[in-house]
Structure formats: structure tokens, C-alpha cells
Structure 1
Amino acid sequence: MTKRLKYTVGAAAACGLILVLALVVYLGITDASSTDDIYLIPEGYEGSIQVNYNVAGAPGLAKEGKYDVIPIRADGTFDTSKPDMEYGLVTDQYYYVSPDGRRTPIDKSCVHVGGNGASEIGSTVTRHNYLKITKTKCGGDFSAWGK
């Protein structure tokens, strides 16, 4: 194989690899999933929140457009029969809800997304989503670390 032919084959292979990688990145960006939850939190609540998924006998989740609505109880928990939470880009919305149903948006700097977990009893896997909400410690440290 001549030097020129080797160079041409190598350049074509490199261009093909770049195109394949660009396509993978493009598909990953345009087909990204998102969480799409609306958390309705009792007015004035501060502390930990735990949402439990795949709980037998618990209610499903209502929808508002593409969002699942999660009405948090006064103790900071909610159980749903939905088998699992959504994963991906966190696009959630957080609201305090007054006793008469009025919603007040919660600033994202007052929310710490704590992560997910799971527990298993027999063959039933219950998934958990953890958050923290504050009214008094809002800011970058709380949002990032929950402190």
C-alpha cells in the first residue's frame, strides 16, 4: 500500500469515527430523559422529604401536563404505587401549598436533591427519592450539600 493510500484510508476512518461520535452525542442530547415532577409541600415545611415508589395499595400519581404531581404529607413523605421514578435531567418544580390550595414556588436554592435509593422485602423492591427543603438556609451550600 502506498503512503498516499494509507493516508487517505486513515483520514477517511478518522472522519467516519468523528461522524459516529457526533451522532451518538446528538442522540444523547436530543433523547435525554427528564424527571418532570411537581412537589406540593405543606406551607412552611422544612426538613427531609422521602417519596416511596412501588408501594402496594398506595395511590398512583396525578398528572399536570407532562409532570407527575407528588403531594407531600405533613410528615415529609409520600407513597405511590407507581413502580419507579423518572430518571435523567432534573426538571422538577417545588411549591409550598397553603391549606386553601394556593401554591407558592420554592426557590431552587432552598432545595437539596439528595438522591435515590431502594429497599427490598421478599421480591418487592421499593424505590426511594430523597430531598431536603429549607426556608432559612437557602443558598448554594444548601442546594449542593443540604447543609
Structure 2
Amino acid sequence: MAVAEMHHITDAEWEIMRVVWTQGTTTSKEVQQILNQKTEWKTTTVKTLLGRLVEKNFLSTEKNGNKFIYRSLIEEKSTIQLATTELLEKICAKEVSSVVKTIIAESYLSFEDIEQLEKVLAAKKESAVDVVLCNCTSEQSLYQQAN
């Protein structure tokens, strides 16, 4: 499925997808057992969320005896990239660096991660501008200046 064709994914659906991506293939019972470490979702909740993800074409399902096997139809990396793009589209362009700084400050990073970030920043410096222009409407800009 093309990333552009994907529907919105809820926070609860993200939790399910993270399990499926990690497991490769899984059952509703396995999903519930894994998520029981951090949620108190009932079996019906897990099955409802799995069903929604199948309807949205995020997951495929096949019957195997008396259980259903779930498999992701989308890559984790492309889904994360889409979510990141959607986040950045929601905020003022002038605030992007603040968001990136917060993500870096609040994340666990390996030395390799930091080296990759440094390379990206060095390359980005080649096309940097003196001032990032606001991409908000005039009314949004006036509101932000007042607050």
C-alpha cells in the first residue's frame, strides 16, 4: 500500500501495530499478552483494534484453525515517516527546530544515532537560511505573536 493511501492511525492502533511489527505474524491472544505489560485491555478491545486495522488495510488476516493470524501490510519505517510528516505539517515552520530539539533531548540515542544526526545537520547547513519563514495564515501568525 502506498503511504499516501493510508488512513489515520490512532494511539491505540499504534500500540497494536508496534506488536505486529515486532512479531512479524501474531494472533490476538499474543497481542493481548504482550500489551498486558502496559495496558489493561480486554480481549474484545484487542480484537476490535485488530479488526479496524484490517479494515484500514494496515493488517492482513488469515484463518489458521480456530485462530486468526495477523501480518502487517505496511512497513514500520514508512508509517513513522508519514506520522512525522503529518506532525510537521501541523506546526508553524518557525517551530520545527524547537520540536526537533525536544525530540532529541527526550530520546535515548546511541553514539551511532548521534553521528548520523550530526551528518544530517552538517548536510542541512549547506542549504540553511538566515530566517525560517512562517507558513501560518495571517490570522494564525497574529494569534501566535499575541501569546
Which one has the bigger helix percentage? 2
Structure with greater proportional strand content: 1
Q: What's the TM-score once normalised by structure 1's chain length? A: 0.25
Larger Rg: 1
TM-score, normalised by the number of residues in structure 2: 0.25
